[in-house]
């Protein structure tokens, strides 16, 4: 089987038109897909993906991930079906529970029983896509709704997960998992076993389940500048309890205590240096069980190569 690589094309980096051109470049270089995360202070990811779909013909399009507190599940099903129809069946939907800092402090909503919330939310979206109608009365999400336009019943739905329980839920009810700040060692020792347990609970094999990991990478001759840039991008997550637990379970408890990612930790979570370093980092994630490494190209800092050079190295 041909090995696949995806790219995270950050729509927050500079002009929107530049991101569109990078997606076109990724398509020409044969990438499996491009992914966008719905960040709270950035452009609307569904509209970004619609623009990417309009600018391309073949490359897959992934939302990894959309926070479930931001849209009712019926609105998400509408968005997913519309993007998939517009792109000719190229869309994959990723869902995430986000975290209490964003949901409660920023949005003023309740962040309670995230496993239950995700299970109910995904069930509504899945029913809407498969049957075109929903009648679900849940503890956190309910819907009595139908969808008339064309839809793809087997549109892939993935869950953003890093904790053991959410990983098991992903294995049980989803088509894949989207990872962030997970080292290859954590993928091997925690992600795969818990996903496999969830698949077994549903009577399903691990084969065919997508394991996507977002990996910051870049070609550079200034590692200090590269690590400063990526450390800033990842700093928020070092203060989020779920990612703190992932760091501790990965052997990086000192980073949690200090509130910053060490040089050693960044060598495990990212891939900066030569083109060979980028390729070797992708290979480490594949060997750990990641079926679709999704590189996040960094550029624009001192000593960095252009985005296209990093994409070229990873293709």
How would you write the pLDDT of the chain (315 residues) with one tens digit per residue?
A: 478 999 999 766 678 899 999 999 999 999 999 999 998 888 999 999 999 999 999 999 999 899 999 999 999 999 999 999 999 999 999 999 988 878 888 888 888 899 999 999 999 999 999 999 999 999 999 999 999 999 999 999 999 999 999 999 999 999 999 999 999 999 999 999 999 999 999 999 999 999 999 999 999 999 999 999 999 999 989 989 999 999 999 999 999 999 999 999 999 999 999 999 999 999 999 999 999 999 999 999 999 999 999 999 999
* Cβ partners under 8 Å of residue 297, min gap 6: 7, 8, 22, 217, 218, 307, 310, 311, 314
* Beta bridge mates, 7: 34, 295
CATH 3.20.20.30, domain 6-217+290-298+307-314, yes or no: yes
Q: Which secondary structure element, helix H or strand E, spans residue 58, and what is its range?
A: none
**Sequence-separated (6 or more) residues with CB below 8 Å from residue 107:** 69, 70
CB–CB of 172/202 below 8 Å? yes
DSSP 15: -
Query: Is the peptide bond between 65 and the residue preceding it cis, with omega within 30 degrees of 0?
Result: yes
Under a CB-based contact definition with an 8 Å cutoff, are residues 167 and 190 in contact? yes
247: three-class secondary structure by DSSP: helix
SS3 281: helix
SS3 197: helix
User: How far, in Å, CA of 203 to CA of 147, rounded?
Assistant: 30
The two structure tokens encoding residue 24: 């076109």
Let me know if 8 is exposed, middle or buried by CB neighbors in 10 A (0-12, 13-18, 19+): buried
pLDDT of 106 reads: 81
Query: Closest Cα to residue 130, out of 151, 145, 116?
Result: 151
Structure tokens at 131: 């049957």
State if pTM tops 0.75: yes
Query: Is residue 296 a contact partner of residue 10, using CB atoms and an 8 Å limit?
Result: yes
> Closest by alpha carbon to 297, among 186, 220, 185?
220
**pLDDT, tens digit, 9 for 90 and up, residues 124-182:** 999 999 999 999 999 999 999 999 999 999 999 999 999 999 999 999 999 999 999 99
Q: Tokens representing 39?
A: 């960040």
Token digits of residue 230: 């990526």
Distance CA 144, CA 280 (A): 49
Any idea which residue has 């795969």 for tokens?
192
């Amino acid at each position: 089987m041909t090995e696949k690589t995806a790219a995270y094309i950050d729509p927050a980096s500079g002009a929107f038109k530049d991101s569109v051109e990078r997606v076109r470049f990724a398509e020409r270089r044969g990438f499996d897909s491009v992914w966008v995360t719905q960040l709270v202070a950035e452009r609307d990811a569904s509209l970004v993906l619609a623009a990417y779909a309009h600018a391309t013909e073949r490359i897959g399009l992934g939302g990894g991930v959309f926070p479930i507190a931001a849209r009712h599940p019926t609105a998400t099903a509408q968005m997913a079906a519309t993007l998939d129809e517009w792109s000719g069946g190229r869309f994959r939907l990723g869902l995430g529970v986000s975290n209490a800092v964003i949901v409660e402090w920023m949005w003023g909503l309740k962040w309670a029983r995230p496993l239950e919330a995700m299970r109910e939310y995904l069930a509504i979206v899945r029913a809407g896509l498969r049957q075109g109608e929903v009648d679900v009365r849940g503890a956190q999400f309910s819907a009595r709704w139908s969808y008339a336009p064309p839809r793809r019943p087997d549109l892939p739905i993935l869950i953003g997960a890093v904790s053991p329980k959410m990983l098991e839920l992903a294995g049980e009810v989803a088509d894949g998992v989207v990872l962030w700040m997970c080292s290859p060692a954590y993928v091997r020792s925690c992600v795969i076993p818990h996903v496999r347990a969830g698949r077994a609970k549903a009577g399903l094999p691990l084969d065919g389940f997508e394991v996507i990991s977002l990996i910051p990478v870049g070609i550079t001759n200034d590692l200090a500048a590269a690590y400063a840039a990526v450390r800033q991008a990842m700093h928020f997550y070092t203060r989020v309890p779920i990612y703190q637990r992932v760091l501790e379970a990965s052997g990086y408890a000192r980073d949690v205590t200090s509130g910053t990612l060490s040089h050693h930790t960044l060598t495990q979570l990212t891939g900066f240096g030569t083109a060979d370093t980028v390729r070797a980092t992708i290979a480490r994630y594949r060997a750990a069980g990641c079926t679709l490494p999704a590189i996040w190209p960094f550029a624009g800092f001192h000593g960095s190569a252009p985005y296209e050079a990093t994409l070229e190295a990873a293709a």
